[in-house]
Structure 1
Amino acid sequence: MVASAPLRIGVAGLGTVGAGVVKLLEDNRALLTQRAGRRIEIAAVSARRRAADRGVDLSGFAWQDDPLAIADDPSIDVVVELMGGEAGPALALVERALANGKSVVTANKALLAHHGSRLGQIARQRGVGLCFEASVAGGIPVIKALREGLVGNRISRISGILNGTCNYILSTMRETGRAFDDVLADAQKLGYAEADPTLDIDGWDAAHKLAVLAGIAFGTPVDFERVYVEGIRHISPLDIEYAEELGFRIKLLGTAVRTERGIEQRVHPTMVQATEAIAQVDGVFNAVVIEGDHVGRVVLQGRGAGAGPTASAVVADLVDLATGRLSPAFVEAAEGGIGPVSMSEHDGPSYVRLMVRDQPGVIADIAAELRNERVSMEAMIQRRHHPGGAVPVVLTTHPSKEAALSRALERIGALESVLEPPRMIRIEL
């Protein structure tokens, strides 16, 4: 039976995702009314440019030049924030809506990564929802999986391909052998990368998403500043070629791990065994692997961006609110002592590529510096031989402390026979 009172929403931000939400609500109106038990109606919209052609009919909705007017409208139940940005108008809108006792649905991972814990507390105090399924991995319901399907599990690890732009670039480099800059330029032409791709290729977008996931999975405060971030600019076709030879593929992964010392949160290029499910995820797709103490390993895969997938996640939150399903944004763990762990304490195997002068004693000098830091080599590859010339040397290590390997590589890089700074990529087994 359909309730008589509709859920009235205001949408602030009418870009790709905002227009996608309007279209989805219109296309599936009857289906959503049946599933939510009441109508979901757009009462007002707001965006920077009123005259832009967005491919959807907005004539039936009240237009607000100031998005804060949506938060102040007493007839609106839910504010949908799709403007983006970690502060500024987006933050002001969410704060005003929550203060006015309105639930908020947002796709804004940067906002949540920087302010999520505080905003979640405000929502809890006001008895309203702060919902953000669309903020991580687009159409993949990873937040619902953590909050609902896996709620009975103690999560030990989350690892995922959280940025489709980087995944497209790395996949294309592997398939074609082309250099990073060349593939990035193509990604920009195809619309997979922004004109300024910094947020994507330097790892910040994935780090925002990881901070949100870690806060939900481990019950820790959302703390973007504690995430170690490294991008993919330095990955070369040579590294990808050697990775294949060693049985790995390179992915930009966001990984959060519960350790005896605390919670690691890190985003960086990672060598993943080619047989792993996540290694098979190519192109602009995202994937998330969750490990729980009772469920074991769960793999979620799908489109991580775009109008349709992201709008699907926004509307899922709206249906939850329409039916009265209200989950706390972030719930801090009852157990104490779960704090962040510095990247210097990370312990794991690594891949190292060196460009060295082909002369006697070079390998011995490299091995000596690793030995001095108690870093053990597992394998070494030196395919080419050019006496007196430059040759690549690749080695993999047994698990070792990040700080120890960093010290060894700093001294190795200073050797006269080493011609370029060492390149290191961490390995996940």
Structure 2
Amino acid sequence: MKDVSVGICGLGTVGGGTFNVLGRNASIIAGRAGCRIRVGRVASRTPRSDMDLGAIPFTTDVFDVVNDPDIDIVVELVGGEGVAKDLVMAAIAQGKHVVTANKALIAVHGNEIFAAAAAKGVMVAFEAGVAGGIPVIKAIREGMAANRIDWMAGIINGTGNYILTEMRAGREFAEVLREAQALGYAEADPTFDVEGIDAAHKLTILASTGFGVPLKFEQAYTEGISAITPFDIAHAEQLGYRIKHLGVARRREDGIELRVHPTLVPQSHLIAQVDGVLNAVLVDGDAVGQTMYYGPGAGAEATASAVIADIVDVARSVVSGSGQTVPFLGFVDSALEDLPVLSMDDVQSAYYLRIQAFDRPGVLAKVASILSEHGINIESIMQKESELTDGRIPVIILTHTVQERQMNCAIDDLEALTDIDGRVVRIRAENFQ
């Protein structure tokens, strides 16, 4: 049985997990890969005293791994876009295959990286960058190869999902965020997680894989969860919905929707039941219908599972000499290459609206009139006298589906009313049909 040599760059959570699982399950992995996968060199900014590397060479310079002539596959687990990009491009330039868990790197620089890899005839694999241990990229790229994929939607950031789950008990966002940081679910600077940037990285990769279009992260719409309140969560529940922070990609004739935002999901839908730090991705194919992929979206060995699955794929190619057998993003559809990412003005959705109204006669009539003038139909409305505070009462409205451009105009008119106090809170709703 042949050996394939792997160089691991980064011994953090995922790097350590990858090293440990490669060692623990070496015989199983070899049986599935058809070759022995050997760790030939490890690089990390600092050594880990809790890990026994044995005789494996260790270095603090990741480029030592790239420059080692015995390394066949460079595994990039350092994170970020600076050194990581330089490392990956250097590996490709030397004709080495690359496996990465770096969603930001692929989402932002993937088009350049894949072009360089194609020119050198090497593979770049990135399964672990999208949903941790969930093999959704392989499912879309290979298992759903016969399907036209029309839309995808997912909980693809565990931190945000944990916060919204805990807020269902009436807890405030700031309190739960501090707890998530203490538990290690959120970074000291949680912006990427709670403002949707991390999810947008992953959604960009999913959309390109599913639709066959170039990566377009800079055009993705992102909206975070920091403005969501326990009040909104409780009232959404009363209306039969649960609030989830979703990434949604939808292919239309005139363009692609690429958006991350808080979303009302019917409580009866499977994705509404996904709680805590878990991830789930819905994919709609014209042949198979809706499928859902569920599991841990982060964690040392969960993510290592996806990293090693990519290593196995690449190792098979190395041993067989077959080269890149599956296009990097599943396929490229030249007819869709110039399909634009649509403005949010062109997106259609139902809406949850929370309006803080003064308790005066005729206010509801004025609100309903404005919505009607903009072609917006009301599905349900909720107003409780028990919630009257300081002469103000919240009015909760659920609308039928309407174009966002219409809703924006209606909200401008509502906020201009002297009977309305402050901003109108708006949360989009999806029924996944």
TM-score tier, shorter chain, comes to over 0.9
Q: 1:387 to 1:102 in 2, by over 3 A?
A: closer
Amino acid at match of 2:289: G
Amino acid at match of 1:278: I
Residue 45 of structure 1: how far off its partner (Å):
1.2
Distance 1:16 1:187 in 2: 17
Q: 1:353 to 1:406 in 2, by over 3 A?
A: same
Residue 145 of structure 2 corresponds to residue 146 of structure 1: no
Residue 339 of structure 2 corresponds to residue 335 of structure 1: no
- 1:192 alignment partner in structure 2: 185
Amino acid at match of 2:26: R
Distance 2:419 2:180 in 1: 37
Query: 2:76 is matched with which residue: 81, 89, 94?
Result: 81
Q: Matched residues, percent identical?
A: 47
Residue 397 of structure 1: how far off its partner (Å):
1.0
Return 131-140 or 63-72, whichever deviates more: 63-72
Residue 216 of structure 1: how far off its partner (Å):
0.5
Distance 1:193 1:306 in 2: 12
- 1:111 alignment partner in structure 2: 105
In structure 2, the residue corresponding to 1:10 is in which secondary structure? strand
Residue 420 of structure 1: how far off its partner (Å):
2.3
Distance 1:227 1:427 in 2: 18
- 1:299 alignment partner in structure 2: 292
| Contact 1:105–1:314 under 8 Å retained in 2 | yes
- 2:308 alignment partner in structure 1: 315
- 1:36 alignment partner in structure 2: 33
| Contact 1:110–1:208 under 8 Å retained in 2 | yes
Superposed CA offset, 1:49-77 (max 9, x none) = 23x43x32124221222212211221110
Superposed CA offset, 1:127-175 (max 9, x none) = 110000100111100000011100110001111000011111111111x
Query: 2:174 is matched with which residue: 156, 181, 185?
Result: 181
Residue 238 of structure 1: how far off its partner (Å):
0.6
Residue 345 of structure 2 corresponds to residue 344 of structure 1: yes
Residue 387 of structure 1: how far off its partner (Å):
9.1
Distance 2:18 2:289 in 1: 34
Q: 1:363 to 1:335 in 2, by over 3 A?
A: same
| Contact 1:130–1:328 under 8 Å retained in 2 | no
Amino acid at match of 1:216: T
Amino acid at match of 2:58: W
Residue 425 of structure 2 corresponds to residue 428 of structure 1: no
Superposed CA offset, 1:279-300 (max 9, x none) = 0111110001100010111111
- 1:223 alignment partner in structure 2: 216
Residue 414 of structure 1: how far off its partner (Å):
2.5
Superposed CA offset, 1:100-125 (max 9, x none) = 11110000000011011121111111
Amino acid at match of 1:156: D
- 1:15 alignment partner in structure 2: 12
- 1:67 alignment partner in structure 2: 62
Distance 1:69 1:329 in 2: 26
Amino acid at match of 2:213: T
| Contact 1:358–1:388 under 8 Å retained in 2 | no
TM-score by length of 1: 0.96
Superposed CA offset, 1:344-380 (max 9, x none) = 1001111000111111121122223222322222211
Distance 2:90 2:253 in 1: 40
Distance 1:387 1:49 in 2: 56
Distance 2:305 2:219 in 1: 30
Q: 1:258 to 1:74 in 2, by over 3 A?
A: same
- 2:45 alignment partner in structure 1: 48
Residue 127 of structure 2 corresponds to residue 130 of structure 1: no
| Contact 1:161–1:251 under 8 Å retained in 2 | yes
In structure 2, the residue corresponding to 1:349 is in which secondary structure? strand
Distance 1:388 1:89 in 2: 55
| Number of aligned residues | 422
Structure 2 alignment gaps of length 5 or more: none
Amino acid at match of 2:291: V
- 2:280 alignment partner in structure 1: 287
- 2:374 alignment partner in structure 1: 373
In structure 1, the residue corresponding to 2:131 is in which secondary structure? coil
**What CA RMSD, in Å, does the superposition of the two structures yield over aligned residues?**
1.4
In structure 2, the residue corresponding to 1:136 is in which secondary structure? helix
TM-score by length of 2: 0.95
- 1:382 alignment partner in structure 2: 383
- 2:414 alignment partner in structure 1: 412
Where do residues 383-402 of structure 1 align in structure 2 (5 Å cutoff)?
383-384=384-385, 386=388, 389-402=391-404
Amino acid at match of 1:206: A
- 2:155 alignment partner in structure 1: 161
| Contact 1:358–1:387 under 8 Å retained in 2 | no
- 1:101 alignment partner in structure 2: 95
Distance 1:204 1:384 in 2: 39
- 1:172 alignment partner in structure 2: 166
Distance 1:375 1:332 in 2: 39
Residue 84 of structure 2 corresponds to residue 90 of structure 1: yes
Residue 388 of structure 1: how far off its partner (Å):
7.1
Residue 312 of structure 1: how far off its partner (Å):
0.4
Distance 1:335 1:370 in 2: 39
Amino acid at match of 1:409: I
